[in-house]
């Protein structure tokens, strides 16, 4: 809950974001002090006018005081304007810093975190929560100091004018402390709940808008509207409760503040009738008592605003305190350009559910080899290749590249050597050119065009309204699935990685385009280690090594012709796709080796157990 950290600790931690801009805050504080100092003489001038100037009919003094009041007003107005400009800049820069710090921290978290948190929910944490911390920013702090100084001045001046009346007024002040005790904790906790509810609203909104085509296709507009109504209704209900609680807190402070003038009227009039207080003195005291109860009420309102902001602040620090599961060692090395000798050594892995996705997997891909991973859905093919760029760390076992454990490499340098084209193509809401250039930010336009040619994308790109400068919309919505896939392949080609991962990279292409891209990728894959995951086995028949996964284990590996005879799992996968006369003619059974010519995965020579044992040593 929101109260598990003390308010003081949260404020001190938050103050680190204010530190870079302390000069602006100090300048605003000086201007605020000037405004307070210029305001203090007003009640004394009022008393002098009533008790002296008016009675003596001193027009000269009246005019002087009038001009002084106008000058003071102009100076105060100017100082207040400059103060607000400074505070506005201060506030904008601090909020900017917090948002960027939070976003950069989120980027460092592991993929498993994002699998458990919806995009809309995180957007609310970065956007709405940061915006809600304004109650802790400089304008609030300056207002706090200003009202505190005004309160101190009010105490001093009321004691000077009439000590007895002042002490009676002071007796009301402890009621404010009682109000704080009753409302503070409740407001902060409820503010935390409201922020959480609206984060869930943002989550639902983002998800439903992203799936609008599915909603329309199934005519589920009413169903999704009901879902949004329920989500929003719960958030609004919580917010109404918070507003009612805040209103009660505000009314309590208003009632307490109203008690001051009542005491003044009751006791002050009696003092005038006894001759112990002048009418001018009562008017001046009335002005200063506003300095006493007005700032106190303002401080109460600031406190309630701060409690709301502390709830948002708590949520921000909850995010900043999250640690990535995949961590880079301090002594991690820069691997430079890798050769691409990839070894998975007795690797096991499971997600949060606890079910083993990979169980004791061992395999080796030599530099320049094309390794195909095949198996039914859910056997861990994508999970296996996700371990190579360290999106996840295995629970046991090691992943090595060029003989070095990837945990000993700097993450950025490791990933700079890896290019990935996944089944779920993601493009940014930008131009075609910038999406391809995302693979290598320093690439020239000519290099971008050449990458597009290799990916068989250049022809359709030139037919777009503005060619390579065409805006493709969110996630590339203005392009077909095949066009998006080709741009993603061009992006990977431009990266020129040592290790290439193709996870169903041609899944959204027609047969003709798929064949063309396969031909384009063939020379590219010659000089780099390539892992290919493909549902259509026709795309991997020529791989240097086909690795068959089943039940989280590597059950066999070898060439197609070998595996068809020796591995029932592979034969079943192949027959399901190709059991027809044309395929049987292309791959006659009599030309395939016998089972005795194929070694199972535990002893296949190409696996090179001696190499693995040397790594263990």
SS3 letters across 9-33: HHHHHHHHHHHHHHHHHHHHHHHHH
- The CATH code that applies to domain 2-320 is 1.20.1560.10
Give me the mean pLDDT over the 153-169 stretch. 77
For the ranges 322-331, 342-351, 471-480, the maximum mean pLDDT occurs at 342-351
Task: Quickly state the pLDDT bin for 388 (edges 50, 70, 90).
Answer: very high
What pLDDT is recorded for position 519? 65
pLDDT in tens, 477-534: 888 777 888 888 888 888 888 899 988 876 656 677 667 667 666 666 777 899 998 7
What percent of the chain stands above pLDDT 70? 87
- pLDDT of residue 145 exceeding 80, the answer is no
pLDDT in tens, 210-236: 777 677 777 778 888 888 888 888 888
- pLDDT of residue 596 exceeding 50, the answer is no
What pLDDT is recorded for position 265? 75
The closest of 406, 389, 388, 386 to 332, measured between CA atoms, is 406
Give me the mean pLDDT over the 526-553 stretch. 84
Give me the mean pLDDT over the 332-343 stretch. 89
- pLDDT of residue 606 exceeding 60, the answer is no
What pLDDT is recorded for position 584? 40
- pLDDT of residue 597 exceeding 50, the answer is no
CA–CA dist 369, 374 (Å, integer): 16
CA–CA dist 463, 186 (Å, integer): 61
pTM for this model (two decimals): 0.69
- pLDDT of residue 612 exceeding 70, the answer is no
CA–CA dist 260, 255 (Å, integer): 9
Q: Which two tokens stand for residue 6?
A: 């003390």
HEC per residue, 272-322? HHCCCCCHHHHHHHHHHHHHHHHHHHHHHHHHHHHHHHHHHHHHHHHHHCC
Q: Which of 37-51, 419-433, 591-605 has the lowest mean pLDDT?
A: 591-605
Higher confidence at residue 444 or residue 127? Answer: 444
CA–CA dist 549, 50 (Å, integer): 97
- pLDDT of residue 3 exceeding 80, the answer is no
- pLDDT of residue 455 exceeding 50, the answer is yes
What pLDDT is recorded for position 581? 40
Give me the mean pLDDT over the 320-328 stretch. 86
HEC per residue, 455-503? CCCHHHHHCCCCHHHCECCHHHCCCCHHHHHHHHHHHHHHHCCCEEEEE
What pLDDT is recorded for position 138? 55
Task: Quickly state the pLDDT bin for 617 (edges 50, 70, 90).
Answer: very low
**Helix H or strand E encompassing 397:** strand 396-401
Q: Which two tokens stand for residue 554?
A: 């590597």
What pLDDT is recorded for position 517? 66
- pLDDT of residue 547 exceeding 50, the answer is yes
**Helix H or strand E encompassing 396:** strand 396-401
Task: Quickly state the pLDDT bin for 587 (edges 50, 70, 90).
Answer: very low
CB 374 within 8 A of CB 547: yes
What pLDDT is recorded for position 5? 57
What pLDDT is recorded for position 531? 92
Long-range pairs, 508-512, Cβ under 8 A, ≥24: 508/425, 508/481, 508/482, 508/484, 509/482, 509/485, 510/482
Give me the mean pLDDT over the 435-441 stretch. 88
CA–CA dist 341, 334 (Å, integer): 16
DSSP, collapsed to helix, strand or coil, labels residue 588 as coil
Backbone angles phi, psi at 363, to 5 degrees: -160, 165
DSSP, collapsed to helix, strand or coil, labels residue 419 as strand
- pLDDT of residue 343 exceeding 90, the answer is yes
Backbone angles phi, psi at 542, to 5 degrees: -95, 10
| Beta-carbon contacts of residue 198 (< 8 Å; ≥ 6 apart) | 124, 128, 235, 239
Q: Which two tokens stand for residue 95?
A: 């909020």
pLDDT in tens, 256-290: 777 767 777 777 787 778 777 677 767 777 767 77
Using the structure block, give the residue that is written with the tokens 């290019």. 419
- pLDDT of residue 613 exceeding 70, the answer is no
Full strand arrangement of the beta sheet holding 396-401: 356-365, 342-350, 396-401, 404-405
Q: Is 582 exposed, middle or buried (0-12, 13-18, 19+ CB in 10 A)?
A: exposed
What pLDDT is recorded for position 384? 92
Q: Which of 59-73, 347-361, 370-384 has the lowest mean pLDDT?
A: 59-73
Task: Quickly state the pLDDT bin for 166 (edges 50, 70, 90).
Answer: confident
Task: Quickly state the pLDDT bin for 398 (edges 50, 70, 90).
Answer: very high
CA–CA dist 380, 355 (Å, integer): 11
């Amino acid at each position: 809950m929101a109260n598990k950290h003390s308010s003081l600790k949260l404020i001190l931690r938050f103050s680190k974001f204010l530190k870079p801009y302390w000069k602006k805050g100090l300048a605003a504080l000086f201007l605020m002090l000037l405004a307070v100092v210029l305001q203090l003489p007003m009640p004394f001038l009022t008393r002098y006018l009533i008790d002296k100037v008016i009675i003596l009919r001193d027009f000269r003094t009246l005019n002087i005081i009038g001009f002084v009041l106008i000058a003071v007003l102009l100076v105060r107005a100017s100082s207040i304007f400059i103060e607000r400009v400074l505070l506005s800049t201060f506030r904008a820069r601090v909020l900017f810093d917090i948002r960027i710090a939070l976003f950069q921290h989120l980027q460092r978290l592991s993929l498993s975190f994002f699998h458990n948190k919806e995009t809309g929910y995180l957007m609310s944490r970065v956007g709405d929560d940061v915006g809600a911390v304004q109650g802790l920013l400089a304008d609030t702090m300056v207002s706090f100091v200003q009202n505190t100084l005004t309160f101190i001045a009010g105490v001093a001046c009321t004691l000077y004018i009439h000590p007895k009346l002042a002490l009676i007024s002071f007796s009301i002040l402890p009621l404010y402390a009682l109000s704080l005790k009753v409302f503070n904790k409740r407001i902060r906790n409820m503010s935390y709940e409201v922020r959480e509810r609206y984060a869930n609203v943002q989550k639902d909104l983002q998800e439903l808008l992203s799936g609008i085509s599915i909603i329309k296709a199934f005519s589920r507009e009413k169903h999704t509207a009901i879902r949004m109504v329920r989500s929003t209704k719960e958030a609004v209900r919580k917010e109404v409760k918070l507003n009612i609680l805040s209103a009660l807190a505000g009314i309590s402070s208003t009632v307490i503040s109203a008690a001051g003038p009542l005491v003044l009227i009751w006791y002050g009039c009696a003092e005038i009738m006894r001759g112990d207080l002048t009418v001018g003195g009562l008017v001046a005291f009335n002005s200063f008592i506003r300095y006493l109860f007005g700032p106190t009420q303002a401080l109460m309102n600031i406190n309630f605003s701060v409690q709301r902001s502390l709830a948002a602040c708590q949520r921000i620090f909850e995010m900043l305190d999250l640690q990535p599961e995949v961590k880079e060692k301090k002594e991690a090395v820069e691997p430079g350009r890798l050769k691409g000798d990839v070894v998975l050594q007795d690797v096991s892995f499971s997600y949060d559910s606890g079910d083993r996705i990979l169980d004791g997997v061992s395999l080796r891909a030599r530099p320049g080899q094309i390794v195909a991973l095949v198996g039914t859905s859910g056997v861990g093919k994508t999970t296996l290749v996700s371990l190579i760029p360290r999106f996840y760390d295995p629970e046991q076992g090691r992943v090595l590249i060029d003989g070095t454990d990837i945990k000993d490499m700097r993450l950025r340098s490791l990933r700079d050597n890896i290019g990935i084209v996944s089944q779920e193509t993601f493009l940014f809401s930008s131009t075609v050119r910038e999406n391809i250039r995302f693979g290598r930010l320093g690439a020239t336009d000519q290099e971008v065009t050449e990458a597009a040619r290799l990916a068989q994308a250049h022809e359709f790109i030139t037919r777009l309204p503005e060619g390579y400068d065409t805006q493709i919309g969110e996630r590339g919505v203005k392009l077909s699935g095949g066009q998006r896939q080709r741009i993603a392949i061009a992006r990977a080609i431009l990266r020129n990685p040592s290790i290439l991962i193709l996870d169903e990279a041609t899944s959204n292409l027609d047969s003709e385009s798929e064949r063309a891209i396969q031909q384009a990728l063939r020379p590219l894959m010659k000089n780099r280690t390539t892992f290919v995951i493909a549902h259509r086995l026709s795309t991997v028949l020529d791989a240097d090594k086909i690795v068959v996964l089943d039940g989280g284990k590597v059950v066999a590996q070898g060439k197609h012709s070998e595996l068809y005879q020796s591995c029932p799992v592979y034969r079943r996968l192949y027959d399901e796709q190709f059991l027809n006369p044309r395929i049987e003619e292309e791959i006659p059974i009599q030309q395939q080796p016998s089972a005795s010519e194929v070694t199972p995965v535990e002893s296949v020579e190409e696996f090179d157990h001696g190499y693995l044992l040397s790594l263990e040593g």
